[in-house]
Structure 1
Amino acid sequence: MTDLPKSARVVIIGGGISGCSTAYHLAKLGWTDIVLLERKQLTSGTTWHAAGLIGQLRASQNMTRLAKYSADLYRSLEAETGLATGLRSCGSITVALTEERRVEILRQAALARAFGIEVNELGPREVAALYPHIETADVVAGVHLPGDGQADPGNIALALAKGARQLGVQICEQVKVTRVLTDRGRVSGVEWQAEGAQGVIAAEHVVNCGGMWGRDLAAQNGVTLPLHACEHFYIVTEAIPGLGQLPVLRMVDECAYYKEDAGKILLGAFEPKAKPWGMGGIPESFCFDQLPEDFDHFEPILEKAVARMPMLAEAGIHTFFNGPESFTPDDRYYLGEAPGLGGYWVAAGYNSIGIISSGGAGMALARWMTEGAPPFDLWEVDIRRAQPFQRNRAYLRERVSETLGLLYADHFPYRQMATARGLRRSALHDALKARGAVFGEVAGWERANWFASPGQAPEYRYSWGRQNWFENQRAEHQALREGVGLIDMSSFGKIRVEGRDAAAVLNRLCANQIDVAPGRIVYTQMLNPRGGIESDLTVTRLSETAFLLVVPGATVQRDLAWLRRHIGEAFVTVTDVSAGEAVLEVMGPKARDLLARVSPEDFSDAAHPFGTAREIEIGMGLARAHRVSYVGELGWELYISTEQAAHVFETLIAAGEAVGLKLCGLHAMDSCRIEKAYRHFGHDITDEDHVLEAGLGFAVKPAKGDFIGREAVLRKAEAGLTRRLVQFCLTEPEPLLFHNEPILRDGAIVGQITSGNYGHALGGAVGLGYVPCRPDESAEELLAARYEIDVAGRIVAARASLAPLYDPSGARLRG
């Protein structure tokens, strides 16, 4: 152990590839006084036994950017450090054995083309030509990425560590961090312990790269880092004569991957039901350790592998390996600053893709720490998406038994988790379930996605085509468009901002004018200094000093962190009151008729105009009625004290028989909102998307005075837009849009669909997506181009519009 300093600018905890990458990239950006502490030896946790697959294509553009960055970095490290990384561009093949999987991998191929990755679509003969040792009689299709490869994980980490040391980083092994110290809401340092010594390092920043140890370390400071180790199995054969160099092979329908290395085959598994490990804690002595063999658990994978690659039957097994890796509740890792504790950063939970992810993740985190913001939208992996309840170990143990296997499961649209369900339920959950609700989960909330018809099984049957609930969605959509529907949106995030300075604080954070009369509802965004969208919300003024912010259920922690970060010394309190009120949406042309049957209030435009809220009597209870709509029809959101929710629901149901009231789910709401081109945060609008390019300039009021992002708005308005969010509707009724389908303008790929659904009133699939444009290009020029969408390799013509294709004037909102 080297003598440790008394202070540092940043202490990085963990010497796996993630910690080494973070140290390297911070040093590259000019940071000094960087200390990395490793409890045992570098790479001794998970990194050393990783398979080292280098796959560039990920599920989104920005995750792909990070993976491509990693691959490029690993190619250059040897020249910089003198340590070989073992990187070999042998390519990869993903094989489909079913028609559904064929559609999935062809969609992946389309995505690769959109991201500029070389990709080849393969038939069975071409698969056999590239990988001649496998049986292909049942192969349906394949996809080949020539630029993929494999590398030596341990050597990559050691090369990053050497590069960091060359730049002045102090790396100390055999030093365990026992506690992160804090002072007034910020980290202040770490306590460390080594053989025969202990001490404190004062620090401005701490980065938790602790891998499977990271959860318990974070919990000491109340930081939620939901991850849990699982056993991960692979075997390595004896040398096989005449094997030759081969691409990485993913037989995802058989839950297996094959990696050729030095004439041997490494066969690894992502089995459907995994074995969580370390529930009672990880042994203190754990270092370059492996777990006990479990041949019975691995045998089903091996049996299929021997049938797929018969030469394995004759090959001896050199190594049967079982090692732990960290998995998260949604199969995405965690990056960023923990909400509620300044200077506490996280890079952990890599779900078996840590090698290809860590190079880019280290770069992104270093820039985030340096610039105060991520380099591009990283909401998918942002630590602020974690919900406090997810630190529960029983929840994690159950969930990660599923998420490991989901890496190779069919990635069907709308696929719902099967484990660790039912944690957050609205007061109406059982009543909805009794009426056929089929639930999905967001941020732990159980939400009715659709309602089964009498005699129909209330369950999903997944497909890349029209799923078993398509006609249910159509009927619910029709009710919202032509009659009246009732939607339980109790999962909305609800945040009260109160105090003497509440109006001033919110006006500085929000782009729209918030200083309005009590009872007014303002649709707005909170922007970052670049003009990107940090939050999409409504703000209702309840009184002179109290406001209610309504945000998506998935972003509550993010929005709370953003608010608290910018309060400063103002006299304001911020409180999460999401669980205190149920929300029932009454939407559709007959919404006014229904409410008149259950309330003595006047619901006319004059008495209750759009964009206002007031208390009403309903049944024998009280509610606060908000005249807003996310479906584009006349409607009200009813905010009801949780204990009165069942009564109000029953009152509406009883009165609804006379007007044809229909219970509706989130799928119908989404198909309605996409027809109206209403934006969805995290897909259509992110912190990377400028509010003017997103077409939300109507909600921005630069004349009101200073607010975060105002200068960026004025600059963009003067310089002109270089891309615009466009709505598309396919001209053929059958194909479906979900997300990430490439957009073609005059035959060339120019972007991807950011969100999609079926427009039942428009008669085709509808999507939103950004299209590049010249700053001086008129709307007419932009729309005069020929637009098409690549749906799993099939090019489908599309109508394009800047105004909503459904009810562009907004007349239906007025009823």
Structure 2
Amino acid sequence: MAGLPTTARVVIIGGGVVGTSSLYHLCKAGWTDCVLLEKNELTSGSTWHAAGNVPTFSSSWSLMNMQRYSTELYRGLADAVDYPMNYHVTGSLRLAHTKERMQEFQRAKGMGRYQGMDIDIVGPDEIKRRYPFIETHDLKGALYDPSDGDIDPAQLTQALAKGARDMGARIIRFCPVSGVRRENDEWVVETPQGEIRCEIVVNAAGYRAAEVGKMFGRDVPMMVMSHQYILFEEIPELMAWSKEQGKKLPLLRDVDTSYYLRQEKNGMNLGPYERNCRAHWATHNDPMPEDFSFQLFPDDLDRLEHYLADAIARVPILGTAGLSKVINGPIPYAPDGNPLIGPMPGVPNAFEACVFTFGIAQGGGAGKVLAEWITEGQTEWDMWSCDPRRFTAFAAAPDYSVAKGMEIYGNEYAIQFPRHAWPAGRDRKLSPIHDRIKALGAQFDAYNGWERATWYAQPGDDTSEEATLTFRRDGPWQHRVREECLAVRDAAGILDLPGFSRFRLQGPGARDWLVTMITGLVPKPGRIGLGYFSDDKGRIVTEMSIMALAEDLFFLITASVAEQHDFEWLQHHLPRPNQLTLQNLTDAFSCQILSGPKSRSVLSELTDADLSLPWLSHQSAQIAGHWCQLVRVSFAGELGWEIHTKVEDTGAIFDAVWAAGQKHGLKPFGMYALDSLRLEKGYRTWKGDLSTDYTILQGGLERFVKWDKADFRGKAALQNEKQQGVKKRFVTLVVENPGDCDAPSVSTLWHDGKIVGETTSGGWGHRIDKSIALGMLRADLAEPGTAIEIEIFGDRFRAVVQKDEPLWDPRNERLRA
């Protein structure tokens, strides 16, 4: 066995498919001085017992990109590294029992076609033609994916390992990591075989990632599920069909029942995701063993009885086969079911590539993404869906991680409906006035753990979870959301907004540093403005509201879900040596939005503040004897103020505003109404309309670019893009004669039979009574009046490009009133 080297550029901890893929892709990028450490043999964690399915399907654009890349990589990998592999591209049929499932498939088909995949929707007759042993009487149709299939996980891992070794990387097996420490801006990785110094460490430890994370002082938000699948003996009819056809059956997924069924040689493999699932190693009474390499849990077939019976009814020849083996192994889950790929939160020069529920399907793409993070500091695709910083500290609490992991596992194939709030792990972070707004009828959803009102129900409204399982706009919330929007339009509305991410930046040179960090102007004291942060390629990193309290004292306010991401972006780019202080004060303050033409009248009864100060100004004030900051902005697009308060004063201030507002028609409004109102103004949302998939110029943000500044991050790339010509542009579209559904994000835009763009968000505008979509369109078509088609769940609707001004109050007269 080769000895442990004393130094490396990168050390990867974990030798499953993701660890070896990361090593392989680092080498492909030219970083060959890399070492992978594995405590046992390669694949000894979740990889060895994985079923090895390789789907491309996802309802997430970034995950679909990653899985598509995996299929493309695996097709040529055996030849590329000269290592034989069993990779069967069989295609797959994903069955639909309901109209809603067909709508989900239509959206996935649109996304897949955009990415160049030949995904299609087929009817029951075509299902039967492709899969002759199936019962189709109760099916609406299926999604057919020709790229789907299965691969041998051990061979895949060994192929990636060989490819990496051939390029110069080192793999040290039977070398557990016992600890890490930081010395002289380097990592020292401790093992029984000695120590190894490196610049960068990667936690790719799979279901043991939390254990490795603790070595860095990091609580990884994850838990471990037991996943079972059943292998069946040979089925003569299947063997005869395969021999005659010269191929395997397509992989079958009955997603509404929740299992997959795959041909395994001449037998079958059934893998359910059961509702009555089981978490492991979740309590002090059930600790993770010191070593579980190549081990399995005892069979627990009672849990699978319902799914086995359903599969036999669907494919009757399965009932003729004997059961040959049950595999019951550990697989990790993050609280949202997506993996963790990217910078380790709060830890310098450390990365995560772990907690993969579908590691075989995503492993190839994950290696590409992780290598980009390390070698370039950024990724080709916006990968927020997998960024470890999407979770803050609350998500690592074991009871939360376990509750969410079990909910995701039991609903692995569930449709992600836009108005459905998953019930597990709730009430983690409550507004100081949570009980008050709940009493007013608030229905809630969690935003980075913060419970926010989405809409306000009245007695008799259907507030059941079942009512939210739809893509249609006309759920029981719709007329209430309309009432909320019209109250904001005609009188006044108040929205409780806990959890705004809030950072205080101060110190000599703070203003000068901000000037270099954003594309536009830094506001003067007493003013607030939007700051757009670009990366070196000119892409949109984030948007923050910059509130200038003094020449070198600022509050930077950003989305609740952006808390960790944006704080680390600022922290990472602070000047060295650093005279500036940056503090995260998110938990110390709360906020309410008071908006509407009567909002000034409401406030005038409560404060001596100067309510004539213009739009984009702010001032300290007193309401009900308590300090607040009145900020003259409104994401709702009406006259209004954000009322920023200390957490402990929020209740008293809300009570005073609520009481004063009653005679003026003040109503509470929620996040659904705010979303409708902001669409009518063309205001962007973070990681929806604003993401690194787009540049500042593509995003329609050139009015926030101050070209005559000496320099700012991304300036050279943006100047070059402007000179070469912007290829796609942000547009507002109005959908003519819309159907029952508004456009979700990543709905395809068509013109003359060609794909010409995609939506970034959409919804109904209640002040203008129209269906609105925001999106990115080929630049030559981004002219007002251009008619295109927008594909919404498989149906195409005529949509018209609007002028480059808001649909509501285009000259901002109401906003500035």
Q: Give the TM-score normalised by the residue count of structure 2.
A: 0.95
Q: 1:190 aligned to 2:189?
A: yes
* Cα pair 1:189 1:202 within 8 Å, conserved: yes
SS in 2 for 1:767: strand
Find the counterpart in structure 2 of residue 715 from structure 1. 720
Task: Report if aligned partners of 1:512, 1:522 keep a CA contact under 8 Å in 2.
Answer: no
Which residue in 2 is equivalent to 1:101?
101
Q: 1:431 deviation in Å?
A: 1.0
Match of 2:297 in 1: 291
**Amino acid corresponding to residue 252 of structure 1 in structure 2:** V
- Kindly report which structure 2 residues correspond to 1:228-239, keeping only aligned pairs within 5 A, or say none: 228-239=223-234
Query: C-alpha displacement at 1:459, in angstroms?
Result: 4.2
Using the alignment, how far apart are the partners of 1:689 and 1:167 within structure 2? 34
Match in the other structure for 1:212 = 207
> Pairwise CA RMSD of aligned residues?
1.6
| 1:813 partner SS | coil
Equivalent in the alignment of 1:383: 388
**Aligned 8 A contact 2:249 2:263 in 1:** yes
Q: The residue matched to 2:280 in structure 1 has which SS?
A: coil
- Alpha-carbon separation, structure 1, partners of 2:647 and 2:229: 50
Q: Which amino acid aligns with 1:804?
A: P
CA distance in 1, matches of 2:374, 2:427: 36
Q: Cα distance 1:670–1:784, how it changes in 2: closer, same or farther (>3 A)?
A: closer
Question: Which of these residues, 595, 598, 601, is aligned with residue 593 of structure 1?
Answer: 601
Which is worse superposed, 372-381 or 547-556?
A: 372-381
Match of residue 639, structure 1, among 644, 650, 654: 644
SS at match of 2:479: helix
Cα displacement string for residues 668-706 of structure 1 (whole angstroms, at most 9, x for unaligned residues): 001111111111110111123111111111122232332
| 1:582 alignment partner, one of 590, 598, 613 | 590
Which of 494, 497, 519 is matched with 1:489 structurally? Answer: 497
Question: Which residue does the alignment assign to 2:686?
Answer: 681
Partner of 1:539: 546
How many angstroms apart in 2 are the aligned matches of 1:281 and 1:500?
A: 51
Query: Helix, strand or coil: the match of 2:620?
Result: strand
Q: How far is 1:784 from its partner? A: 4.8
In structure 2, the partner of 1:799 is: 800
Does the alignment pair 1:501 with 2:509? yes
Give the match's secondary structure for 1:439: strand
CA contact (8 A) 1:204 1:343 kept: yes
2:348 is equivalent to residue 342 of structure 1: yes
Structure 2 unaligned segments of length 5 or more: list them: 243-247
1:259 aligns with 2:254: no
- CA deviation after TM superposition for structure 1 residue 228, in Å: 1.2
Aligned: 1:452 with 2:449: no
Shift of 1:273: 4.4
Distance 1:698 1:652 in 2: 35
SS class of match (1:648)? helix
1:565 and 1:274 mapped to 2: Cα distance?
A: 41
CA distance in 1, matches of 2:64, 2:773: 22
Q: What residue number does 1:331 align with?
A: 337
User: Equivalent residues in 2 for 1:110-149 (5 A)?
Assistant: 110-149=110-149
- The more displaced of 656-665 and 762-771 is 762-771
Q: CA deviation at 1:413?
A: 1.6
Contact kept, 8 Å, 1:745 with 1:785, in 2: the verdict is: no
Shift of 1:661: 0.7
Q: Mean Cα displacement is larger for which, 96-105 or 15-24?
A: 96-105
Letter paired with 1:530: K
- Whether the 8 Å contact between 1:187 and 1:341 is mirrored in structure 2 is no
Aligned-residue offset at 1:577: 0.6
Hey, what's the Cα distance between the residues in 2 that align with 1:308 and 1:171?
A: 45
* Equivalent position SS for 1:799: strand
Determine the C-alpha separation between the residues in 1 that align with 2:623 and 2:66: 52
Which residue type is aligned with residue 309 of structure 1? V
In the TM superposition, residue 112 of structure 1 has moved relative to its aligned partner by: 2.0
**In the alignment, does 2:478 pair up with 1:465?**
no
Q: Does 1:418 align with 2:418?
A: no
Q: Is the 2:509–2:552 contact (alpha carbons within 8 Å) kept by the matching residues of 1? A: yes
Question: Among 355, 362, 367, which residue is 1:357 paired with?
Answer: 362
- Say yes or no: does 1:765 pair with 2:760: no
- What SS does structure 1 have at the residue aligned with 2:155? helix
Question: Is 1:789 the counterpart of 2:795 in the alignment?
Answer: no
1:753 aligned residue: 759
Distance in 2 of aligned mates of 1:768 and 1:334: 29
Q: Could you tell me how far apart the structure 2 residues matched to 1:158 and 1:105 are?
A: 34
Deviation sequence 1:300-346 (CA, Å, 0-9, x none): 21121122222222211111121110111111111112232221011
Maintained 8 Å contact 1:677/1:804: yes
Separation of aligned partners in 2, 1:164 and 1:522: 48
Deviation for aligned residue 1:733 = 4.2
What are the Cα deviations for residues 250-270 of structure 1, in whole angstroms up to 9, with x where unaligned?
Answer: 100111111112111111011
Equivalent residues of 1:237, 1:315 under 8 A apart: yes
- Hey, what's the Cα distance between the residues in 1 that align with 2:61 and 2:378? 18
Per-residue deviation at 1:224?
4.0
TM superposition shift of 1:74: 0.9
Quote the Cα distance in structure 1 between the aligned partners of 2:500 and 2:440.
22
Distance 1:417 1:702 in 2: 45
- 1:240 corresponds in structure 2 to 235
**Residue 157 of structure 1, CA deviation:** 0.7
Cα drift, residue 65 of structure 1: 2.4
- What is the match of residue 377 of structure 2? 372
Residue 250 of structure 1: aligned partner: 253
Q: Indicate yes or no: 2:431 matched with 1:436.
A: no
Write the letter of the residue equivalent to 2:815: L
Q: Are the aligned partners of 1:61 and 1:115 in contact in 2 as well (CA < 8 Å)?
A: no
2:708 partner SS: helix
Q: Distance in 1 between matches of 2:476 and 2:406?
A: 27
How many angstroms apart in 1 are the aligned matches of 2:454 and 2:183? Answer: 44
Pairing partner for 1:201 from 196, 204, 212: 196
Compute the displacement of 1:457 (Å). 4.5
Task: Tell me, yes or no, if the aligned pair for 2:37 and 2:175 is still in contact at 8 Å.
Answer: yes
Structure-1 separation of matches of 2:558 and 2:276: 35
- 2:56 partner SS: coil
Give CA-to-partner distance per residue, 1:175-207, whole Å, 9 cap, x none.
Answer: 1011122136x55120012xxxx3110111111
Tell me, in whole angstroms, the C-alpha distance in 2 between the residues paired with 1:797 and 1:220.
56
SS in structure 1 opposite 2:321? coil
Shift of 1:410: 2.1
Q: Say which is worse superposed, 788-797 or 453-462, in terms of deviation.
A: 453-462
Contact 2:71 2:147 in 1 (8 A): no
Residue 670 of structure 2: aligned partner = 665
Q: Any idea what the Cα deviations from partners look like across 1:631-683, whole Å, max 9, x if unmatched?
A: 11111000011111111111111111101111000010011111111111101
- The Cα shift of 1:454 comes to 2.2
Show the counterpart of 1:226: 221
Residue-pair matches, total: 800
What are the Cα deviations for residues 747-774 of structure 1, in whole angstroms up to 9, with x where unaligned?
A: 3211221111111223232111111225
Partners of 2:700 and 2:338 in 1: how far apart? 30
The whole-number CA distance in structure 2 between the counterparts of 1:187 and 1:105 is 48
Query: Any idea what SS the aligned residue of 2:236 has?
Result: coil
1:523 aligns with 2:525: no
**Maintained 8 Å contact 1:524/1:536:** yes
Q: 1:100 and 1:375, CA in 2 relative to 1: closer, same or farther beyond 3 A?
A: closer
- The residue number in structure 2 matching 1:278 is 281
Give how far 1:587 is off: 0.8
Aligned to 1:737: 743
Which residue, out of 318, 323, 338, partners 1:317? 323
- Give the unaligned 5+ runs of structure 1: none
Could you tell me how far apart the structure 2 residues matched to 1:580 and 1:458 are? 32
Following the alignment from structure 1 to structure 2, what is the Cα–Cα distance between the partners of residues 503 and 682? Answer: 26
Asked whether the equivalents of residues 277 and 303 of structure 2 are also in contact (C-alpha less than 8 Å), the reply is no
Conserved? CA contact 2:62–2:385, under 8 Å: no
CA 1:92–1:13 in 2, change beyond 3 Å: closer, same or farther?
A: same
Normalized against structure 1, the TM-score is what? 0.96
Residues 524, 700 of structure 1: 8 Å contact kept: no
Q: Is the 8 A contact 1:234 1:322 kept in 2?
A: yes
- Give the Cα separation in 2 of the matches to 1:226 and 1:136: 41
- Correspondence for 2:87: 87
CA deviations on 1:257-312 (whole Å, 9 max, x unpaired) are 11112111111011234311122442123111111111121112112112222222
